[in-house]
Amino acid sequence: MNATASAAVSVLTRPFTRIPEVQRRRIWMMLLTAAAVAFPLVHNNDADIDSMANAAAYATLALGLNIVVGFAGLLDLGYAAFFAIGAYTYGILTAFQLQPEWSAFWEPFQFLGLVGKMPAETGDGSVVHFTLSFWLALPFAACLAAFFGVLFGAPTLRLKGDYLAIVTLGFGEIVPIVVRNWSDLTNGAAGLNGVAAPRLFGWSFGVDATPYYYVAIALVALLIFVSVRLRDSRIGRAWMAIREDEIAAGAMGINRTKYKLLAFAIGAAFGGMTGVFYVAKLQTATPEMFGFPVSVMILVMIVFGGIGSVWGVVLGAFILQLLQSWWLQDLTEWLHAIGRAVDNIWLQHVDLVPSIELIFGLILVGMMLFRRQGLIPATRQQAALTLDQQHAEVRRGGFSDLKLHGLGGEMRSPEAALDIQDVTVRFGGLTALNKVELKVPRGGVVAVIGPNGSGKSTLFNVITGLVEAEEGSIRFYGDEIMGLADYQILEKGIARTFQNLRLFPNLTVMENALIGQHARLKTGVLAAILHPPGTMAEEKQAREWAMEIFSIFGNRLAPRVTQVVAGLSYANRRRIEIARALASRPRILLLDEPTAGMNPAETLELAEQIKSLNALGLTVLLIEHKLDVVTTLADTVYVLDHGEVIAHGKPDEVRRDEEVLRAYLGRNAQASLAGASVNVA
Amino acid sequence: MTTFDLLLQQTINGLSLGAMYALLALGFTLVYGILELINFSHFNVFMVGSFVALFVLQAFGLSGQEVILTGLPLFGVLLVAFIGTMLFSGALGLAIERLCLRPLRNVKGPAAMITTIGVSYILFNVILLTIGADSKNFPNPLPVIRWKLAGATLDFRVVLIWAIALLLMAALYIFVQRSRIGKAMRATAQDAEAARMMGVEVDKVIVMAFFLGSALAGAGGLIFGLYYNFTSFIIGFTAGLRAFTAAVLGGIGNVPGAMVGGVLIGLIEAMGGQFIATAWTDVIIFSILVLVLVFKPAGLFGRIAPSKS
């Protein structure tokens, strides 16, 4: 945005560009808050305030579902179940549904104000009346719903996306069925009655809409705050990594099980809290309030507003809820008026309100076909780089000016950093690796070469826990790592790149590098939301470290840190993968054909950069086809063929090895080329 | 009735339900096998199919159970009704593919599935808003003939439903196994890219999968009407989910698996309703769905789906 022409255009299209972005956002927030607070004061219509309160309640549901679907990419079609669980938690614990007989057991609860004692309707004993406070019910129901979120989420973790949708749909159906059939607890289809209104300092909210409106708006504000804080934290980055590429997420140290369940739990907690609010406002609860149509409606809201976009889903929820309660009615009345004017019977009697679900269906299809990113897209368009910034500075000779503290520092020694023994991997009848033995000495560079299909990538996969070995042992600094999960292996200090690039395509260069640091950062959910000083410092250091890593590649990545990686050149994406792996501060770096697809100049540049990394004391194991790269970098070369190590030694020795020549060129070719110097690759 | 008689009776009922679920499950399996897409619009293509059947039968002047046909007239009416319903439903499925799903063919993520939910919602609400919320009496011209089988009753219409369902499934099976386009379908299900390179017109195969699946769903809708004597805008959801469970149980993508899965789900529904409680039927069926997906995602007969990494 530095060209004057584009600035002039943006003044026309986007006002207030002169005010810095942060301040502009603050001003919008203040205006929005003021409008939300003033609404009931200036618009004194109870029904309208009630509609707004409902819209706000749906906005909180949309925010909750957005965590699961938008952030973590887990399509949940049964979200209303958590809404129901929260609603019935509060309903049952304040209505007169459960009335166990009074006993001494209840006295401490009475002291805490959670239960009351009342005379039984029949007989002369006393029974318990639950009187859970609304304000306690909010966190309690959130925890309970989160528990069910984990319970429902756990069996679905191994499923692929579509199956997840159908299983959550199943749970979404089971919960209302259980509610309907477990009448002792829920009063069945008739619904709970006499749910208590919230009280604040002894004053009951009653049936007036205004206090509910303020509670709902406060809840929306709170959940927006929590959503934004989580999104921009280590937690949110982990979710988005899972959404973008599960395998790469695991390889970058993210415990997928944990973070998927966390998304389910937090999303469910939002739903549970909203359930409490909704039932307290309605003062009744029936199973029909939480069926599949509700789950779909919330999904429509986030699809409409923008999947993954916090402000988008809030906007989507408000628009659709108000469409339902205000605009369709207004529109119907206008049509009736027109009908009377033109004397058309059909127009006089048409009613648009029941067509809301049809509109939902049209919105789903229309948005998917024509605007998948929603009203407010989660990622905004990036300004293009200027020509100046695009100018790549070719850097030869590696680097010597960078210290990169915390990376490498290994003293060269013949002792093994990585020690692979007798590793065998079979896929069905195919033996991909057969009793492979390989040692990577500390501080050294080892290259693995071999024809296509010789098991090189399988070797990397078995080291990093993506493929299970049938037998053998892999020791890393003496510790057995075979059988560890992929993310644990990264935590130990083994980071890798992938042959076919596995970046997180819709995230920025910086976000990719920050995800690489996942295992080295500590921020948990609470710290992500509350931002204690330690967390802020950690985030700042993480960004500084990422910038330091980027500077290895000269000015190739540094100007592009805010760009989405999907739009970058192939060579730059390769560099980002290496940067992402380095960001995790590995003790050994595994590179799978790092220079594939690069031109000779770029290849040489990268080889020298890898050499410099090694000079800092970083151990490297690489798969490479380009022989000049192998000879420049490697101390030791291993040759794989048909899953077996057929030779290893210094690059020059391996080049002359007969078996190697045979593997690459075949027996006859070898004979005809006898004596000639042969380029192995 | 003794327990044995009850078992026998519920087996008869279960097989009839199962025949319907199997027809519906085939649609899920054909589309999933080729596109790896859970087609939620299938739920309500089935429902629309039952209304189309209703209108075709009404066009013959049939209403309720007043007019009974036998012999050739019955055969003729049923033939026209099945063909008409299946053609219309098939065309509906084809239109859904062409208009809503083809543009999303290369879009990653849940966009296509979300679209099918939207289409399903549109079909559901169009029927609700135009035809109404009350359930409609379904014309049933079949003569009432009942046979005693130990303590259970076997109805002529049940036998007819079995025969029609078997005929349709056999026809589909032979079509998929023997015909040129059937072979192309199987090849595409294995590896769409390789099939394309071998000259298979993948678009045609996909269109065919949608057409066949939707036509069978329409036949299922007609059978629903004949079996229950009513139809309503609401029947798609429950039947669709049960049929989907059937497809998963049999191994999604596997044609004979869908048939067996359908029959099993029908039997489970009938037995569960008899010996446990109708109210819990859905919970039982969903639990089966979850258990199968978690412990045996390939289903009873499915090959393990190749993980696309």
List the CATH number of the domain containing A47.
Answer: 1.10.3470
Among B225, B229, B244, which Cα is nearest to B289's?
B244
Portion 10-49 of B in contact with A at CB < 8 A: 36-38
The pLDDT value recorded for residue A681 is: 40
d(CA A627, CA A608): 14
**Six-digit token string for B101:** 């799903």
Q: What angle do CA A156, A159, A165 make, to 5 degrees?
A: 70
Asked whether residue A481 carries a pLDDT value surpassing 90, the answer given is yes
Asked whether residue B73 carries a pLDDT value surpassing 90, the answer given is no
Average pLDDT estimate for B122-132 = 94
Residue A527 falls within a domain, yes or no? Answer: no
The length of chain A in residues reads 681
ipTM of the complex: 0.90
- β-pairing verdict for A619-623 and A445-449: parallel
- Which chain B residues are Cβ-neighbours of A158 within 8 angstroms? 294, 297
Cα dihedral A463→A464→A469→A475 (10° resolution): 40
Q: Is A368 on the interface with B (CB under 8 A)?
A: yes
Domain co-membership, A339 together with A296: yes
- Which chain A residues are Cβ-neighbours of B233 within 8 angstroms? none
For residue A476, the surrounding DSSP H or E stretch is strand A471-476
Please give the DSSP secondary-structure letter assigned to residue A100.
P
Taking CB atoms and an 8 Å limit, are B117 and A173 in contact across chains?
no
Domain co-membership, A99 together with A194: no
Residue A533 falls within a domain, yes or no? Answer: no
Q: Which of B29, B36, B115 would you mutate first to test chain A, the one with the most A CBs within 10 A?
A: B115
Taking CB atoms and an 8 Å limit, are B280 and A181 in contact across chains?
yes
Q: Is A171 on the interface with B (CB under 8 A)?
A: yes
Q: Rg of chain B over CA atoms, in angstroms?
A: 19
**Six-digit token string for B261:** 């899965």
Among A404, A387, A433, A343, which Cα is nearest to A545's?
A404
Residue A171 falls within a domain, yes or no? Answer: yes
Contact status, residue A96 vs residue A129, Cβ threshold 8 Å: yes
**Six-digit token string for A243:** 């959404």
Contact status, residue A663 vs residue A649, Cβ threshold 8 Å: no
List beta partners, residue A589.
A495, A620
Chain A residue with Cα closest to B284: A174
For residue A440, the surrounding DSSP H or E stretch is strand A430-441
d(CA A492, CA A37): 52
Contact status, residue A393 vs residue A328, Cβ threshold 8 Å: no
> What's the gap in Å between the CA of B72 and the closest CA on chain A?
42
The pLDDT value recorded for residue A680 is: 44
- Specify the residue for token string 């042992």: A473
**Domain extent for A121:** 95-131
**Backbone φ and ψ of A380, nearest 5°:** -90, 155
Asked whether residue B26 carries a pLDDT value surpassing 80, the answer given is yes
Lowest mean pLDDT among A108-112, A322-326, A604-608, A677-681: A677-681
Q: Is A491 on the interface with B (CB under 8 A)?
A: no
Asked whether residue A9 carries a pLDDT value surpassing 60, the answer given is no
Average pLDDT estimate for B127-144 = 90
Domain co-membership, A100 together with A172: no
Long-range contacts of B126-129 (CB under 8 A, 24+ apart): B126/A358, B127/B44, B127/B47, B127/B48, B127/B51, B127/B233, B128/A354, B128/A357, B128/B233, B129/A354, B129/A355, B129/A358
d(CA A492, CA A464): 10
CATH number of the domain to which A673 belongs: 3.40.50.300
The neighbour count for residue B191, using CB atoms within 10 Å, is 12
What is the total count of domains within chain A? 4
Strands (E), A234-315: 284-285
Taking CB atoms and an 8 Å limit, are A369 and B103 in contact across chains?
yes
Long-range contacts of B176-185 (CB under 8 A, 24+ apart): B176/B255, B181/B205, B181/B208, B185/B30, B185/B33, B185/B34, B185/B209
Domain co-membership, A74 together with A187: yes
Q: How far is CA A465 from CA A159, A456, A582, in A?
A: 19, 14, 19
Taking CB atoms and an 8 Å limit, are B118 and A362 in contact across chains?
yes
Contact status, residue B86 vs residue B215, Cβ threshold 8 Å: yes
Domain co-membership, A189 together with A112: no
* Per-residue pLDDT band at B41 (split at 50, 70, 90): very high
Taking CB atoms and an 8 Å limit, are B37 and A173 in contact across chains?
no
Portion 221-260 of B in contact with A at CB < 8 A: 237, 241, 244, 248
Residue A362 falls within a domain, yes or no? Answer: yes
Average pLDDT estimate for B260-285 = 88
Asked whether residue A1 carries a pLDDT value surpassing 50, the answer given is no
- Return mean pLDDT, chain A: 88
- Which chain B residues are Cβ-neighbours of A250 within 8 angstroms? none
Domain co-membership, A592 together with A645: yes
- β-pairing verdict for A619-623 and A471-476: unpaired
Chain B residue with Cα closest to A292: B237
Among A640, A639, A642, A638, which Cα is nearest to A432's?
A642
Chain B residue with Cα closest to A162: B38
> What's the gap in Å between the CA of B299 and the closest CA on chain A?
13
Lowest mean pLDDT among A300-304, A635-639, B202-206, B301-305: B301-305
**Six-digit token string for A252:** 């970058």
User: Based on the number of CB atoms within 10 Å of its own CB, is A660 exposed (0-12), middle (13-18) or buried (19 or more)?
Assistant: buried
> What's the gap in Å between the CA of A298 and the closest CA on chain B?
13
Lowest mean pLDDT among A18-22, A379-383, A473-477, A613-617: A379-383
- Which chain A residues are Cβ-neighbours of B294 within 8 angstroms? 155-156, 158-159
List beta partners, residue A554.
none
Q: Is A467 on the interface with B (CB under 8 A)?
A: no
For residue A421, the surrounding DSSP H or E stretch is strand A416-427
Asked whether residue B304 carries a pLDDT value surpassing 90, the answer given is no
Please give the DSSP secondary-structure letter assigned to residue A515.
H
Average pLDDT estimate for A448-452 = 88
Domain co-membership, A123 together with A267: no
Asked whether residue A298 carries a pLDDT value surpassing 80, the answer given is yes
Residue A219 falls within a domain, yes or no? Answer: yes
Question: Considering CB atoms only, which of B111, B112, B283 is closest to A174?
Answer: B283
The neighbour count for residue A338, using CB atoms within 10 Å, is 13
Among A106, A131, A156, where does a domain finish? A131
For residue A424, the surrounding DSSP H or E stretch is strand A416-427
- Half-sphere exposure of residue B176: CA atoms within 13 angstroms, side-chain side: 24
Residue A511 falls within a domain, yes or no? Answer: no
Asked whether residue B222 carries a pLDDT value surpassing 70, the answer given is yes
Q: Is B122 on the interface with A (CB under 8 A)?
A: yes
Among A81, A110, A131, where does a domain finish? A131
> What's the gap in Å between the CA of A504 and the closest CA on chain B?
14
Residue A546 falls within a domain, yes or no? Answer: no
* pLDDT tens-place string over residues A510-528: 999 999 999 999 999 999 9
The pLDDT value recorded for residue B172 is: 92
Amino acid identity for residue B87 in this structure: L
DSSP conformation letters of chain B: --HHHHHHHHHHHHHHHHHHHHHHHHHHHHHHHHH----THHHHHHHHHHHHHHHHHHHTT--TTT----HHHHHHHHHHHHHHHHHHHHHHHHHHIIIIIGGGTT--TTHHHHHHHHHHHHHHHHHHHHH-SS-EEPP------EEEETTEEEEHHHHHHHHHHHHHHHHHHHHHHHSHHHHHHHHHHH-HHHHHHTT--HHHHHHHHHHHHHHHHHHHHHHHHHHHSEE-TTHHHHHHHHHHHHHHHH-TT-HHHHHHHHHHHHHHHHHHHHHT-GGGHHHHHHHHHHHHHHH-TTTTTPPPPPP--
d(CA A379, CA A507): 9
- Which chain A residues are Cβ-neighbours of B120 within 8 angstroms? 361
Residue A519 falls within a domain, yes or no? Answer: no
Asked whether residue A439 carries a pLDDT value surpassing 70, the answer given is yes
> What's the gap in Å between the CA of B283 and the closest CA on chain A?
6
Among A131, A146, A180, where does a domain finish? A131
Contact status, residue A489 vs residue A481, Cβ threshold 8 Å: yes
Among A232, A222, A311, which Cα is nearest to A270's?
A222
Domain co-membership, A355 together with A428: no
* Per-residue pLDDT band at A5 (split at 50, 70, 90): low
Amino acid identity for residue B167 in this structure: L
Average pLDDT estimate for A628-652 = 89
Strands laid side by side in the A479-480 sheet = A430-441, A416-427, A471-476, A479-480
Domain co-membership, A13 together with A116: no
Domain co-membership, A264 together with A347: yes
Portion 76-95 of B in contact with A at CB < 8 A: none
- Which chain A residues are Cβ-neighbours of B128 within 8 angstroms? 354, 357
**Six-digit token string for B39:** 């087609």
Listed in sequence order, the DSSP H helices in A505-626 are 509-516, 525-530, 533-550, 570-583, 600-615
Lowest mean pLDDT among A51-55, A449-453, A483-487, A619-623: A449-453
The length of chain B in residues reads 309
Domain co-membership, A344 together with A238: yes
Q: Rg of chain A over CA atoms, in angstroms?
A: 31
The pLDDT value recorded for residue A108 is: 87
Domain co-membership, A339 together with A207: yes
Q: How far is CA A410 from CA A444, A486, A592, A612, A633, in A?
A: 9, 24, 22, 13, 17
- Which chain B residues are Cβ-neighbours of A174 within 8 angstroms? 282-283, 286-287
Asked whether residue A11 carries a pLDDT value surpassing 60, the answer given is no
